[in-house]
Chains A and B, each alone.
Chain A
Amino acid sequence: MPDTLLFAMEATLNGLTAGVMYALVALGFVLIFKASGIFNFAQGVMALFAALTLVGFQSGQIPFAHLINAVFGTRLHQFGWNMPTFLAIPATVLVMILLAVLVERYILKHLVNQEPIILFMATIGLAYFLEGVGDIMWGAEVKALDVGLPKGMSGAVDDITFAWFGYGFYIDRLELWAAGIAGILVASLTIFSQYTKQGRALRAVADDHQAALSVGISLRFIWVLTWSIAGIVALVAGIMWGSKSGVQFSLSLIALKALPVLILGGFTSIPGAIVGGLIIGVGEKLFDFFMQPVIGGATENWFAYMLALAFLLFRPQGLFGEKIIERV
């Protein structure tokens, strides 16, 4: 087999796993957009906040330690007890649910039936607020996140591909795990929304707020529910990206990578978020692989946005975006 083909295959595989990481972020956007028609600008910051909280719990940090020390002149930093990961993750989930309750009570409730742009502005405000609160709570330094997921080259993939092609592919084990976890996440979300009463109510709210109210579905409860789920998805994305590149402010910028994924996959489709993520991931890697000799490297920074632009021109609802049903 020619080397170019092998390298291209390796790039494709790497693209697929990278794409899953993008899709994880995009999922959170889709969930909230579907249920409440809000483009949640704060989704990336939510992932950062979730990761910060998780690291904070794991390392036994006292929240708001700097603030407390500044006000009372104390020298608190640690509890002296590090929460084990299997407790820290549920604890962080609880924090994200609490966050969802607070967002509903102090933001969404007061903006019922407002223009989408007003809600969008509110989420921008929320993004900056959360970013600040995250810093004050847990400190602004770069942290390493380790929840026990394996990292580095996957030996198995290397061995198998070496046996088949005489050339071992380099695949990060963390990204393989991410792919598996994303699969489980999507499967459980699909089962939830298709086969449970609350899931059906969620889809009903996405279709028609007023009608949902009229049959007695409580919008406030559904909003708390969607924001909680989006918070949990943000936590998963935060864990994956945080394990990969550390927990720091730039983690919140992964939201920007989710935008082209959403434009490709459609803002309202969960499978769309996954497929969109995969296409962007693979496209990026292959484009870089083939075009690097021609136009030089660093195409990964802009390729996704160019692809999104092309989509906006020719298929603005995305690949899987909800078709607006029009009876003839």
Chain B
Amino acid sequence: MLDATPSQTALLEVNNIEVLYNHVILALKGVSLDVPKGGITALLGGNGAGKSTTLKAISNLIHSERGEVTKGTILYDGQNMVGLDPADLVKAGVVQVMEGRHCFEHLTVEENLLTGAYTRTDGRAATAADLEMVYDYFPRLKERRKSQAGYTSGGEQQMTAIGRALMSRPKMILLDEPSMGLAPQLVEQIFEIVARLNREQGVTFLLAEQNTNVALRYAHTGFIMENGRIVMEGLAADLRENPDVKEFYLGMSDKGRKSFREVRSYRRRKRWLA
């Protein structure tokens, strides 16, 4: 669907990481993935598969949730960044948009966007220029710039959260469930903007999604997770055509759409887990 082809060099390489919460709960059991520079990579899977944990392990937000990476490496631009402070990661160009938006409710939309530029040191003019750039991508935000973010709609909050991340001038955005709780039309709109940002600004995206259908249409490559492991990976186009993905994640089979009763869990098929 997209003609932009990501380069073959990986901007981010996650090698066999394990994540432990509270010293006891093993949430990731050896996850490896690589994100090509300039591409959109989708991380798919059901609830509790470990998508969010993977993203938070990369941005090191798990630290404040009493989690830690106990094994493996995370290479960004060739540098190991396990255990780095989230602020240092933002400065290096990796920023996360968290699941459920997490806007600053009592700040206005514009103030929300400005907090995104917190780590920047290139002056007010550059920040102001980027603010205009964000408003160009999200004209709706310009209309609502003086409203308290807590009173804006879910879609506007998602835009605010993405715009806020953009204000840090990132090379890579970790986008966690942008479709959560949004109407299908709005989801489509958000993904369109993600694709444009990727094309026009060269931002690399790693996005976690449950909405496999939309995600695979916009992504270049995809990884499928289950139970704290990657169970499948490939080009998005190939994944879309894969019969198992169709059956388990897109709800289709040779006999047409399946009834919900027949849907089985992917992990019952042991062949990938072996």
With a cutoff of 8 Å between Cβ atoms, the chain A residues found around residue B214 in the complex are none
A:78-135 near B, CB below 8 Å: 112-113
A interface secondary structure, majority: helix
Check B111 against A200 for contact (C-beta < 8 Å).
yes
Interface residue A203 (Cβ < 8 Å from any Cβ of B): yes
Q: Known contacts A210-B98, A214-B59: does B115 contact A200 (CB below 8 Å)?
A: yes
Interface residue A204 (Cβ < 8 Å from any Cβ of B): yes
With a cutoff of 8 Å between Cβ atoms, the chain A residues found around residue B54 in the complex are none
Check B105 against A214 for contact (C-beta < 8 Å).
no
Q: Mark A51-66, 1 if CB is under 8 A from B, else 0.
A: 0000000000000000
Interface residue B150 (Cβ < 8 Å from any Cβ of A): yes
Q: Known contacts A214-B95, A216-B87, A217-B87: does B64 contact A325 (CB below 8 Å)?
A: no
Report which of A197, A200, A206, A327 forms a contact with B150, defined as CB distance below 8 A: A327
Check B61 against A325 for contact (C-beta < 8 Å).
no
CB closest chain-A residue, reference B176: A214
Task: With a 10 A CB-CB cut-off, give which of B89, B90, B104, B150 has the most chain A CB atoms.
Answer: B104
B interface secondary structure, majority: mixed
With a cutoff of 8 Å between Cβ atoms, the chain A residues found around residue B105 in the complex are 207-208, 325
Size class of the contact patch on chain B: 20 to 34
B:1-60 near A, CB below 8 Å: 59
Report which of B66, B87, B90, B106 forms a contact with A203, defined as CB distance below 8 A: B106
Q: How far is the CB of A154 from chain B (nearest CB, A)?
A: 40
A-B contacts, 27 of them at CB < 8 A, read: A112-B64, A113-B64, A200-B111, A200-B115, A204-B115, A206-B106, A207-B106, A208-B102, A208-B103, A210-B64, A210-B102, A211-B98, A211-B102, A212-B104, A212-B115, A213-B86, A214-B59, A214-B61, A214-B97, A214-B98, A214-B165, A215-B95, A215-B119, A215-B168, A219-B64, A325-B105, A325-B148
B contact residues vs A (CB 8 Å cutoff): 59, 61, 64-66, 85-87, 89-91, 95-98, 102-107, 111, 114-116, 118-119, 148, 150-151, 153, 164-165, 168
A contact residues vs B (CB 8 Å cutoff): 112-113, 197, 200-201, 203-204, 206-219, 322, 325, 327
